[in-house]
Every structure is written in C-alpha cells, then in structure tokens.
Amino acid sequence: MIQHLHRKYDRFIPRYTSYPPANRFRPNFTEKEYLKEITVSNGENPSHLSFYFHIPFCPTMCHYCGCNSVKLHDENELIAYRNALSQELDVALPLLSTERKVSQIHFGGGTPSTLSFSSIRLLMQAIFDRFDGIDSPEIAIECHPGYVNESFLEELKNARFNRISLGIQDFDPAVLKCVNRVPPRIPLETIIHFIHSEMNASVNLDFIYGLPRQTPSSFLQNMEQAVLLRPDRIVLFPYAHLPQLFKRQQILEKAGLPSPESKLEMFEKAVKFLETEGYRQVGMDHFVLPDDELYQAAITKQLHRNFQGYCSKRTTGQVYAFGVSGISQLSGCYAQNTKNFSLYLSSLASGHLPVERGYVLSPSERITREIISSLMCNYAVEWAKICESTGKSSCFDSPNFRCNRNRLNTLCEDGIIELNDNGIEVTEVGKPFVRHVATCFDPFYNDIKYD
Ligand SMILES: C[S@@+](CC[C@H](N)C(=O)[O-])C[C@H]1O[C@@H](n2cnc3c(N)ncnc32)[C@H](O)[C@@H]1O
Ligand code: SF4
C-alpha cells in the first residue's frame, strides 16, 4: 500500500522550509523595502528578536557540502568580514524597538568558529548592550568536531553558548575520508561531557544519510554509537545531491552513491531504533528526548519553525540575518543578502544593507504560510488557530486565498489525511507525503495531477 503511494506521489515538491520557498524570492526587492519592513516588524508577531549570523568560511571543504560555505584562504578576509558584520548591525539594530526581547542568537555557516571567539563575543555584546533577553534565550553555534579541542571548549563556555550543534555526519573514518572530512580532534565523549557538565548546555548531533560507503546496517551502527553519547537531539539529514549547484559534489558520484531504496531504508531503520532508545521524532528530521521543549511543543501542536530550525512558542522570533547569503524572516517579508563576498563588503562600506532579493507577503500569502508551517511542523491544521494567528475570521474569506479541495479529497481517499470541520490531520501513513498536502494551498502547484 505505502509503496503504491510512494509511486503515485513521486514528484519534485519543495521542502517548504519557508513559504514561499526561497527560489521564488523577487530579485527586484530593494533595500528600501527591507528597511520599511524592519520598522513594521516592531508591531508584528512573534514579537521576540531572533538573530542569525552566517559565517561562510571553512578551513577545509567537505565534498558533500550544500551550505553557503567557502574555503578560508586569507586571515585578512576574517577581519574585513567581522567589520562588515558590525556595520550591518549598526544599520539594522537602531531600527528595532528596545521593548522587544532577544529569544535566539544563532551562529551558522560554514564553520562559525573560523571567526575568533573574541569577534563572536563582540557581536553578541552589540545585541545585549541594546536589548534584554527572555529567560534563557537560545544561544547556538554549529561546530565541526574536527576543530574542537579543550581550549575551544573553554571559549564556548566563556561566550555562554547553551546549544551546541556538532556535525558528525558519520562516525566511520572511511566515510569521512571519502567525503574529505576532518575526523574529530578529541574524543566526542569528552566534548559532550564538557558541554553537559561544565556548560550546562545541550548538544545536537547532525548526521547525513545517503553518502558513499553508507549502507542501512552501517548507518544503524552510527545510531547505536550516537545513543551511547546521549545527546539531547539527533538530526538526520537526507543527503541533498545538487551537483549543478555545488560542483564539489560531483566527485561523490564517482565514489558511488547509495540507491534511493537503500537511503530510505537507512532512515527507516534509524527511526525505529531511535524510538526504541527513547528518542521521539519531532518534525521531519529531529529526534529528541521526551523532556525536550521541542517534544513538549510537538505534542501540544505548538511547534514552530524558522530558518534557525525548529523552535517552541517560547523561543520563536522574527529572524534578522547578518552576513553573506543570510535570510531574514519577518512577519511581512523575507530578505536575502547577496552571496557575493566582495559585493557584501562594498555595499556595507558605502552604508547600504547588502540585500539582493526578497519577498513581501500579501495577507492571503500569510494565511497560506501559517497553514503550510503548521502542516510541516505539527502534521495538522486547526482552522481556528490559523484565524487566531492571522487575525482573520475565516481563512476562506480572504481574497486570493487558494485551497485545492479536489486534491485534498484525493489525499483523504488515499488515507494520507483526515478532514473534518475543525481542520486537517495527517495520518501516520501520510506523514512522508506531508509536502503534497502543503501543495494544496500553494497556488504555484494548483495544476499538479496524479495518475
Ligand atoms: C553548516 S553545516 C555544518 C557546520 C559545520 N561546518 C560542520 O561541518 O560540522 C550544517 C549541517 O548541514 C548538513 N549538510 C551539509 N551539506 C548537506 C547536504 N548536501 N545534504 C544534507 N545535509 C547537509 C550537515 O549535517 C551539517 O552538519
Ligand atoms: S560541512 Fe561544514 S565544514 Fe564541511 S564544507 Fe560544509 S560547512 Fe564547511
């Protein structure tokens, strides 16, 4: 039955990490529009401030990498970049109301620690000099274990990070060698013990399935090893192979990628195992312990997602992004910075924000975004909650709002969703097809046909 559904629904559908997806952002979105939207965002919900810093540099490059990352060639680039980030903060922060509180700061990349910890601390200080935080704001950083040693851990502690993501990808040195990834420098047990006991912080471990040399049983061994470390969260990313976009990935085709069936089996075996070990699935790819606030948010259907990842109602905020390629996510718009390093520096040197493209959402698109976000996070939609969060008395009265009823009925007949007067529930069988449910509300996919 499920195989039949996989065949029927085998289409390219966006991952809907945002609505509209980033490939539909407008290239003629201007800095002026963004500045206006920043000011408007002070009166919008969620009211909390969430800051993202993108640090694109890496000391060495992994062949599979699909992030906006570049090899660091010259230490002077770091100085120029740190200064540009400060200039960007100088333009944006004065526009934000100081009555708002900081709920998240996230350093991502690339490998954010290529910027010195003293620079990282200065950026954080610029924020906390101006704004108060909520109780325990989430201060997160992505770390490559190949560059973590004892002094690095002390720096993390002094900078007061409380959520550390460690990119493991695979424990097997043969897999790491094949993808050109530096193995951990000190034992992971030491790193995780320090983060838990010396920093009282939490640890995410990232894995990728679908890399060369991986098999369902070798990936299961990774999970067996991972649970012994008792991380707070485990994140399983399907390897996204986009060699046209990321030329460095081409080399992996020669090494031999696992088949789609084998990749699916890796995920299914891992999910079953993690569940028996007490981890609970949250959203598509996160596995957390039952006392995690994400799990609590998921069971009460209050899980949110922004470009920083999944979050609870407590921590969610409008996202203001800094650095090359950073995407800001406000209630009224998205704005993405240029990916071009020189252009990024020169825009800021001339006092301008380096915005390259973006999107202003119409009232009906805001409703669609709420519905799609609720489906992707909570596998359900409650019409009353959508109306509450968008301030509408009915979603369906809003001009230009689209809902493809025929397709929803087909998904219902196929057992993917249950429909009732209060909303939509995605069934257990239907979870792998949740993106198809989302397309019923996306006018861009109005004409999609299934055999
Ligand atoms: C910015 S990167 C990692 C941070 C740090 N530089 C590291 O390597 O550990 C964030 C995560 O994206 C995931 N990732 C990168 N490229 C990917 C791809 N092509 N497909 C799926 N996941 C990918 C990896 O799991 C990685 O840990
Ligand atoms: S996975 Fe991390 S270290 Fe490797 S190239 Fe990508 S961002 Fe850099």
Spell out the domain ranges in the chain. 22-322, 363-445
Q: Is 169 helix (H, G, I), strand (E, B) or coil?
A: strand
Q: How is residue 31 written in tokens?
A: 């800095």
Cβ of 110 less than 6 Å from ligand 2: yes
- Name the residue at shortest CA distance from atom 7 of ligand 1: 144
Cβ of 211 less than 6 Å from ligand 1: no
Per the prediction, the chain carries an average pLDDT of 93
Average pLDDT over every residue of 191-203: 97
- For residue 63, the ligand closest to its alpha carbon is 2
* 207 CA from centroid of ligand 1 (Å): 8
Indicate which atom in ligand 2 lies nearest the CA of residue 142: 2
209-227 pLDDT, tens per residue? 999 999 999 999 999 999 9
- Residue 1 has what pLDDT? 58
* 253 CA from centroid of ligand 2 (Å): 18
Confidence of residue 389 (pLDDT cuts 50, 70, 90): confident
Confidence of residue 163 (pLDDT cuts 50, 70, 90): very high
CA distances from 285 to 104, 278, 355, 388, 425 (A): 21, 16, 30, 28, 19
Cβ of 249 less than 6 Å from ligand 2: no
- Name the residue at shortest CA distance from atom 4 of ligand 2: 62
Q: How far apart (Å, rounded) are the C-alpha atoms in residues 430 and 165?
A: 30
Q: Tell which one of 67, 141, 185 to mutate to probe ligand 2, the residue whose CB is within 8 A of the most ligand atoms.
A: 67
2-38 pLDDT, tens per residue? 778 878 877 778 889 899 999 999 999 999 999 999 9
Cα maximum dimension of the chain: 60
- Residue 237 has what pLDDT? 95
- Name the residue at shortest CA distance from atom 6 of ligand 2: 65
CB atoms inside a 10 Å sphere around CB 342? 9
- pTM over 0.85? The answer is yes
Indicate which atom in ligand 1 lies nearest the CA of residue 242: 19
Query: Phi-psi region for residue 210, left (φ > 0), alpha (ψ -120 to 50) or beta?
Result: left
CATH architecture of the domain with range 363-445: Orthogonal Bundle (1.10)
Q: Given this structure, which CATH class describes domain 22-322?
A: alpha beta
Percentage with pLDDT > 90 across the chain: 82
427-437 pLDDT, tens per residue? 999 998 999 99
Distance from first CA to last CA of the chain, Å, rounded?
Answer: 15
- Residue 39 has what pLDDT? 97
CB contact at 8 A, 243 and 293 = no
Amino acid code (one letter) for 342: S
The burial of 27, by beta-carbon neighbours within 10 Å (0-12 exposed, 13-18 middle, 19 or more buried), is given as exposed
CA atoms within 13 Å, Cβ hemisphere of 51: 25
Q: ∠442-437-11 over CA atoms, to 5°?
A: 85
Confidence of residue 421 (pLDDT cuts 50, 70, 90): confident
Cβ of 257 less than 6 Å from ligand 1: no
Average pLDDT over every residue of 174-196: 97
Say how many residues make up the chain.
451
* 76 CA from centroid of ligand 2 (Å): 20
DSSP string, 277-345: TT-EEETTTEEE-TTSHHHHHHHTT--EEETTEEE-TTT--EEEEESTT-EEE-SSEEEEE-S-HHHHH
Confidence of residue 151 (pLDDT cuts 50, 70, 90): very high
